[in-house]
Amino acid sequence: MAEEDPFAELKNSSALHAAIINPDGVLILTPLVRGDFQSVALIALEIAAKNSRHVAEHLVPGRRGGRLYDRIVIYPSSAS
């Protein structure tokens, strides 16, 4: 039985984010609505941490100070 993909739900673009999977299996999540993307980014980071995935976080300055996620890049596990 094949192992379930923990990122399956995030691989489908939504009203909040676009999902791109490159030929190497790298998952790239980008916002369609920047402020609302933060919840998607936090979910993706939590799943990546639980599954020991390497992640590159791209942050931009927020309007009220602080930083906002602008892109999340999740690399496939080395076992893949």
pLDDT in tens, 3-14: 788 999 999 999
Report in angstroms the alpha-carbon separations of 7 from 11, 40, 62, 65. 6, 11, 27, 30
Q: What is the pLDDT of residues 33-66, one digit of tens each?
A: 766 899 999 999 999 999 999 999 999 998 888 8
Whole-prediction pTM? 0.86
